[in-house]
């Protein structure tokens, strides 16, 4: 393992098999998950982005969805009996999870949040999820990722609509 973070320590302490991979983190270069997929040479459907949202401004939730997908916030809200969900401010997310923006992981959070894993991710043999720092991901089976954080698996994302031609 090249780097220890609270996420990698969490996975190791739970006996979850994983490997660590780094990539060039370029915050001004577009979608980070897509950058990671390109950098490590894998299908974007295998690279999962980690987002922290608020349901009805009161319930913090961690979402893990394919990098090339859009989140359906109405479906996320409904999972928690809410009316709407929106992205949490980066400062608030960092205070809750212990991870700075661009390095948020569902593993090893300072305050463990409920995690929802996109059902689409479960179709992959392995996925890449943020390892708790910018430019760092873990390769893990989606089943292990789901089990170790007791994530709900749900239909919360879809690929973006094709551009009209």
Indicate the pTM of the whole model.
0.91
pLDDT digits (tens, 9 = 90+) for 89-102: 999 999 999 999 88
CATH architecture of 6-157: Alpha-Beta Complex (3.90)
pLDDT at position 1 over 60 = no
What is the sign of the dihedral through the CA atoms of 111, 158, 101 and 141?
positive
CA distance 141 to 113: 20
Task: List, for residues 101-120, the tens digit of each pLDDT value.
Answer: 889 999 999 999 999 999 99
Alpha carbons 46 and 34: distance in angstroms, whole number: 10
């Amino acid at each position: 393992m090249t780097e220890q973070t609270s996420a990698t320590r969490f996975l190791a302490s739970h006996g979850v098999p994983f490997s660590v991979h780094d990539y060039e983190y370029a915050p001004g270069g577009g979608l980070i998950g897509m950058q990671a997929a390109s950098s490590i040479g894998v299908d974007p459907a295998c690279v999962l982005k980690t987002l922290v949202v608020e349901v009805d401004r009161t319930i913090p939730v961690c979402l893990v969805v394919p990098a090339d997908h859009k989140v359906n916030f109405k479906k996320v809200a409904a999972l928690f009996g809410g009316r709407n969900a929106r992205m949490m401010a980066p400062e608030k997310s960092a205070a809750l999870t212990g991870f700075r923006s661009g390095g948020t992981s569902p593993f090893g959070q300072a305050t463990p949040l409920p995690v929802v894993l996109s059902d689409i991710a479960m179709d992959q043999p392995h996925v890449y999820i943020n390892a708790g720092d910018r430019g760092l991901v873990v390769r893990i089976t989606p089943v292990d990722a789901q089990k170790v954080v007791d994530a709900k698996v749900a239909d919360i994302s879809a690929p973006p609509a094709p551009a009209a031609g």
